[in-house]
Amino acid sequence: MPNAHTSRTPGTGRLGVDEVRRRLPELTVIDVRTPGEYASGHVPGALNVPLDRLESALPALRESAAELLIVCRSGARSEQARALLARHGVPAADLTGGTNAWAAEGHELHRPSGGARAGWAMERQVRLTAGALVLVGLGLGLLHPAWLSLSAGIAGGLVLSAVTDTCGMAAVLSRLPHNRPRPADLATTLATLAARGSH
């Protein structure tokens, strides 16, 4: 019985790891994670267009001659990106399980040369920030009970995040300088897409 990462899910626009590996040369792979996450390891040949900059890349993506494959860490953000592209008439598939599944199957992840320090994945940043805020709230609660509301608020936010499958904290953290793309990076990506689209 094939596993979830090696088969194509019919009718959903999702490709399994084995199919992506086989068809990689004919795909234009767009990684929608933050530049820091992208630098920590990405599918070979993937171009970085962070999710919050995807709309600005629509013209270039629309002109892409190759089939688009959207990738993120686990598949959640790539599904959001694929839905956004679909609303704008741009067909795309996404990688089932994201780069996690790709690496779990033993396939290589590319990293930028030059010894750039890899950034933390957004999920890890959220866990660190939420945990730190809870601890601060509990610590300050020893001085005054009102501070316990900070910990309660973070706990409530995490529950809401799970129920709605969104993350306000991730949205805030993605705007910090170490998670923000440099304009030149996106410009280079768009130029690469334009060049591919002209072939």
Which is the catalytic residue, given 43, 72, 95, 167? 72
User: How far is residue 52 from each of residues 24, 79, 88, 149, measured CA to CA in Å?
Assistant: 25, 14, 15, 31
Give residue 55's identity as a one-letter amino acid code: E
Q: Give the pair of three-digit tokens for residue 69.
A: 């494959």
Q: 148 burial class (0-12, 13-18, 19+ CB within 10 angstroms)?
A: middle
Q: Does 167 participate in catalysis according to the annotation?
A: no
CA atoms of 137 and 133, how far apart (whole Å): 6
- From the list 80, 84, 87, 88, the residue with the least C-alpha distance to 62 is 88
Residues in the chain: 199
168: left (phi over 0), alpha (psi -120 to 50) or beta: alpha
Known catalytic residues are: 72
